[in-house]
Protein backbone atom coordinates (compact mmCIF):
# COMPACT_ATOMS: atom_id res chain seq x y z
CA UNK A 1 0.00 0.00 0.00
CA UNK A 2 0.95 3.62 -0.02
CA UNK A 3 3.33 4.72 2.71
CA UNK A 4 5.46 7.75 3.48
CA UNK A 5 8.39 7.41 5.86
CA UNK A 6 10.33 10.13 7.65
CA UNK A 7 12.73 10.22 10.54
CA UNK A 8 11.00 11.61 13.62
CA UNK A 9 13.57 14.05 14.99
CA UNK A 10 16.31 16.37 13.77
CA UNK A 11 18.36 18.78 15.85
CA UNK A 12 20.62 21.45 14.35
CA UNK A 13 22.41 24.61 15.46
CA UNK A 14 21.25 28.01 14.32
CA UNK A 15 22.96 28.97 11.07
CA UNK A 16 23.59 25.38 9.98
CA UNK A 17 21.73 23.66 7.14
CA UNK A 18 18.95 21.21 7.93
CA UNK A 19 18.15 18.26 5.71
CA UNK A 20 14.90 16.39 6.25
CA UNK A 21 14.48 13.16 4.32
CA UNK A 22 11.42 11.27 3.18
CA UNK A 23 10.74 8.09 1.25
CA UNK A 24 7.50 7.20 -0.44
CA UNK A 25 6.14 4.12 -2.13
CA UNK A 26 3.52 5.20 -4.66
CA UNK A 27 5.29 5.48 -8.00
CA UNK A 28 2.22 7.14 -9.50
CA UNK A 29 2.54 10.14 -7.18
CA UNK A 30 2.23 13.27 -9.23
CA UNK A 31 3.11 15.85 -6.62
CA UNK A 32 5.17 15.70 -3.46
CA UNK A 33 4.75 18.24 -0.74
CA UNK A 34 6.40 19.65 2.33
CA UNK A 35 4.13 21.07 5.01
CA UNK A 36 5.19 22.89 8.17
CA UNK A 37 3.31 22.72 11.45
CA UNK A 38 4.17 25.16 14.22
CA UNK A 39 3.11 24.34 17.80
CA UNK A 40 -0.64 24.52 18.29
CA UNK A 41 -1.30 25.40 14.66
CA UNK A 42 -2.54 23.76 11.51
CA UNK A 43 -0.36 22.71 8.61
CA UNK A 44 0.97 25.24 6.17
CA UNK A 45 2.23 24.37 2.71
CA UNK A 46 5.95 25.17 2.42
CA UNK A 47 6.70 23.95 -1.05
CA UNK A 48 5.91 21.20 -3.51
CA UNK A 49 7.59 19.52 -6.44
CA UNK A 50 6.11 17.94 -9.53
CA UNK A 51 7.25 14.38 -10.11
CA UNK A 52 9.02 15.16 -13.40
CA UNK A 53 11.38 17.59 -11.65
CA UNK A 54 14.65 16.75 -9.89
CA UNK A 55 15.08 19.91 -7.89
CA UNK A 56 13.22 23.00 -6.85
CA UNK A 57 14.69 25.98 -5.03
CA UNK A 58 12.73 28.65 -3.23
CA UNK A 59 14.82 31.12 -1.20
CA UNK A 60 16.29 29.11 1.72
CA UNK A 61 14.45 25.95 0.73
CA UNK A 62 15.77 23.33 -1.68
CA UNK A 63 13.75 20.23 -2.55
CA UNK A 64 15.50 17.28 -4.17
CA UNK A 65 13.60 14.40 -5.73
CA UNK A 66 15.12 11.06 -6.66
CA UNK A 67 12.24 9.37 -8.43
CA UNK A 68 14.16 6.15 -9.03
CA UNK A 69 14.75 5.67 -5.29
CA UNK A 70 11.43 7.37 -4.32
CA UNK A 71 13.39 9.70 -2.07
CA UNK A 72 12.52 13.30 -1.31
CA UNK A 73 14.51 15.75 0.76
CA UNK A 74 14.03 19.27 2.08
CA UNK A 75 17.11 21.37 2.76
CA UNK A 76 16.76 24.54 4.81
CA UNK A 77 19.78 26.79 4.50
CA UNK A 78 20.88 29.06 7.38
CA UNK A 79 18.39 27.46 9.76
CA UNK A 80 16.83 29.88 12.24
CA UNK A 81 15.09 29.30 15.58
CA UNK A 82 11.83 30.26 13.85
CA UNK A 83 12.23 27.17 11.67
CA UNK A 84 11.63 24.95 14.71
CA UNK A 85 8.48 23.02 13.83
CA UNK A 86 7.25 19.66 12.59
CA UNK A 87 7.76 19.09 8.88
CA UNK A 88 5.49 16.69 7.02
CA UNK A 89 6.24 15.08 3.72
CA UNK A 90 3.13 14.16 1.70
CA UNK A 91 2.42 12.55 -1.65
CA UNK A 92 -0.57 13.02 -3.88
CA UNK A 93 -1.88 11.85 -7.20
CA UNK A 94 -4.24 13.37 -9.68
CA UNK A 95 -7.36 11.56 -10.68
CA UNK A 96 -9.11 8.87 -8.70
CA UNK A 97 -7.70 9.76 -5.28
CA UNK A 98 -9.48 13.11 -5.57
CA UNK A 99 -6.66 15.08 -4.07
CA UNK A 100 -6.21 12.93 -0.98
CA UNK A 101 -2.75 13.29 0.41
CA UNK A 102 -0.76 10.58 2.19
CA UNK A 103 1.27 12.14 4.97
CA UNK A 104 4.39 10.94 6.71
CA UNK A 105 4.53 10.99 10.50
CA UNK A 106 6.43 14.26 10.53
CA UNK A 107 9.99 15.26 11.46
CA UNK A 108 10.34 17.49 14.50
CA UNK A 109 13.10 20.01 13.80
CA UNK A 110 14.72 21.60 16.85
CA UNK A 111 17.03 24.54 16.26
CA UNK A 112 19.48 25.32 19.05
CA UNK A 113 20.81 28.89 19.38
CA UNK B 1 -10.72 36.15 3.88
CA UNK B 2 -10.83 34.21 7.14
CA UNK B 3 -9.64 31.07 5.31
CA UNK B 4 -10.58 27.82 7.04
CA UNK B 5 -12.13 28.20 10.47
CA UNK B 6 -12.84 25.47 12.99
CA UNK B 7 -14.88 25.48 16.20
CA UNK B 8 -14.49 24.68 18.97
CA UNK B 9 -10.73 24.92 19.57
CA UNK B 10 -10.91 22.54 22.52
CA UNK B 11 -13.52 20.03 23.65
CA UNK B 12 -13.78 17.41 26.40
CA UNK B 13 -16.42 14.70 26.05
CA UNK B 14 -17.46 11.72 28.07
CA UNK B 15 -17.59 8.30 26.45
CA UNK B 16 -20.87 7.87 24.60
CA UNK B 17 -21.59 11.56 24.09
CA UNK B 18 -22.11 12.94 20.61
CA UNK B 19 -20.96 16.22 19.19
CA UNK B 20 -20.32 18.09 15.96
CA UNK B 21 -17.03 19.71 14.99
CA UNK B 22 -17.64 22.69 12.77
CA UNK B 23 -15.58 23.67 9.73
CA UNK B 24 -16.18 26.58 7.38
CA UNK B 25 -14.23 28.15 4.53
CA UNK B 26 -14.83 31.40 2.68
CA UNK B 27 -12.67 30.72 -0.37
CA UNK B 28 -15.41 29.06 -2.44
CA UNK B 29 -13.40 25.83 -2.46
CA UNK B 30 -15.08 22.73 -3.80
CA UNK B 31 -12.92 20.18 -2.01
CA UNK B 32 -13.01 19.82 1.78
CA UNK B 33 -11.65 17.14 4.04
CA UNK B 34 -11.23 16.10 7.66
CA UNK B 35 -8.04 14.62 9.09
CA UNK B 36 -7.09 13.43 12.52
CA UNK B 37 -3.59 13.76 13.93
CA UNK B 38 -2.40 11.49 16.71
CA UNK B 39 0.93 11.76 18.59
CA UNK B 40 3.81 10.49 16.47
CA UNK B 41 1.50 9.95 13.52
CA UNK B 42 0.93 11.81 10.34
CA UNK B 43 -2.49 13.02 9.35
CA UNK B 44 -5.05 10.38 8.48
CA UNK B 45 -8.01 11.18 6.28
CA UNK B 46 -11.42 10.62 7.86
CA UNK B 47 -13.90 11.88 5.24
CA UNK B 48 -13.80 14.20 2.29
CA UNK B 49 -16.15 16.02 -0.03
CA UNK B 50 -15.65 17.08 -3.64
CA UNK B 51 -18.63 19.44 -3.60
CA UNK B 52 -21.96 20.23 -1.99
CA UNK B 53 -24.03 17.09 -1.59
CA UNK B 54 -21.11 14.72 -2.24
CA UNK B 55 -19.08 13.02 0.49
CA UNK B 56 -16.87 9.95 0.66
CA UNK B 57 -14.90 7.96 3.19
CA UNK B 58 -11.20 8.30 3.78
CA UNK B 59 -8.80 5.99 5.58
CA UNK B 60 -10.39 6.05 9.06
CA UNK B 61 -14.13 6.83 8.73
CA UNK B 62 -15.58 4.59 11.45
CA UNK B 63 -17.39 6.46 14.23
CA UNK B 64 -17.72 9.67 12.19
CA UNK B 65 -20.38 11.12 9.91
CA UNK B 66 -20.21 14.09 7.58
CA UNK B 67 -22.56 16.06 5.38
CA UNK B 68 -22.03 18.87 2.89
CA UNK B 69 -25.22 20.85 2.40
CA UNK B 70 -23.38 24.04 1.36
CA UNK B 71 -20.05 24.79 -0.30
CA UNK B 72 -18.87 26.69 2.79
CA UNK B 73 -19.55 24.20 5.59
CA UNK B 74 -18.36 20.67 6.27
CA UNK B 75 -19.28 19.51 9.79
CA UNK B 76 -17.89 16.32 11.32
CA UNK B 77 -20.14 14.40 13.69
CA UNK B 78 -19.01 12.00 16.36
CA UNK B 79 -21.94 9.68 16.92
CA UNK B 80 -20.90 8.08 20.22
CA UNK B 81 -17.51 9.31 21.40
CA UNK B 82 -14.87 6.80 22.43
CA UNK B 83 -11.45 7.36 24.08
CA UNK B 84 -9.82 6.19 20.84
CA UNK B 85 -11.20 9.34 19.22
CA UNK B 86 -9.06 11.56 21.44
CA UNK B 87 -7.06 13.44 18.83
CA UNK B 88 -6.49 16.73 17.08
CA UNK B 89 -8.86 17.20 14.17
CA UNK B 90 -7.98 19.31 11.15
CA UNK B 91 -10.27 20.48 8.41
CA UNK B 92 -8.78 21.41 5.04
CA UNK B 93 -10.05 22.81 1.78
CA UNK B 94 -8.72 23.29 -1.74
CA UNK B 95 -9.89 24.63 -5.04
CA UNK B 96 -10.54 21.21 -6.50
CA UNK B 97 -9.77 17.58 -5.87
CA UNK B 98 -6.67 17.67 -8.04
CA UNK B 99 -3.56 17.30 -5.94
CA UNK B 100 -1.72 20.23 -7.53
CA UNK B 101 -4.06 22.55 -5.68
CA UNK B 102 -2.78 23.64 -2.29
CA UNK B 103 -4.79 22.40 0.65
CA UNK B 104 -5.48 25.07 3.27
CA UNK B 105 -5.75 23.83 6.83
CA UNK B 106 -7.76 25.14 9.74
CA UNK B 107 -6.14 25.64 13.17
CA UNK B 108 -7.48 22.36 14.54
CA UNK B 109 -9.82 21.15 17.27
CA UNK B 110 -8.27 19.33 20.22
CA UNK B 111 -10.71 16.69 21.42
CA UNK B 112 -10.36 14.64 24.60
CA UNK B 113 -12.74 11.76 25.29
CA UNK B 114 -12.78 10.55 28.89
- How many Cα neighbours within 13 Å face the side chain of B24? 7
Report the run of H or E that residue B111 belongs to, with start and end.
strand B109-113
How many beta carbons lie within 10 A of that of residue A102, not counting itself? 23
- In A5-14, which positions are buried (b, 16+ CB within 10 angstroms) versus exposed (e)? ebeeebebee
Q: Kindly tell me if the per-residue pLDDT of B92 is higher than 80.
A: yes
**Is residue B77 pLDDT above 60, yes or no?**
yes
**C-alpha–C-alpha distance, residues A53 and B73, integer Å:** 36
What would the pLDDT profile of A9-45 be if each residue is shown by its tens digit? 999 999 999 999 999 887 777 788 999 999 888 899 9
Residue of A51 and B26 predicted with greater confidence:
B26
Q: Does A93 touch chain B (CB under 8 A)?
A: yes
Question: How far is it between the farthest Cα atoms of chain A?
Answer: 46
pLDDT tens, position by position, A49-106: 988 889 999 999 999 999 899 999 999 999 999 999 999 999 886 544 445 788 899 9
Chain B touched by A22 (CB under 8 Å): no
Mean pLDDT, chain B, rounded, equals 92
Q: Sort residue B31 into left (φ over 0), alpha (ψ -120 to 50) or beta.
A: beta
Tell me how far apart the alpha carbons of residues A11 and A113 are, in angstroms, rounded to a whole number.
11
Interface probe with B: pick from A3, A98, A108, most Cβ of B within 10 Å:
A98
pLDDT tens string B29-38: 999 999 999 9
Of B90, B99, B101, the CB nearest to A93: B99
DSSP assignment letter at B79: S
Residue of B nearest to A104 (CA): B42
Residue A113 buriedness (CB in 10 A; 0-12 / 13-18 / 19+): exposed
Amino acid sequence: GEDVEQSLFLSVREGDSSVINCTYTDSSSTYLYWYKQEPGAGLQLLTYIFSNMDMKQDQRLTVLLNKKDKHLSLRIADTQTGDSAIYFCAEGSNGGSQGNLIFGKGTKLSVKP
Amino acid sequence: NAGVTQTPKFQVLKTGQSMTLQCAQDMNHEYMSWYRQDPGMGLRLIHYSVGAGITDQGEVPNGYNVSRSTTEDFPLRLLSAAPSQTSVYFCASSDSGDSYNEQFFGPGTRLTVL
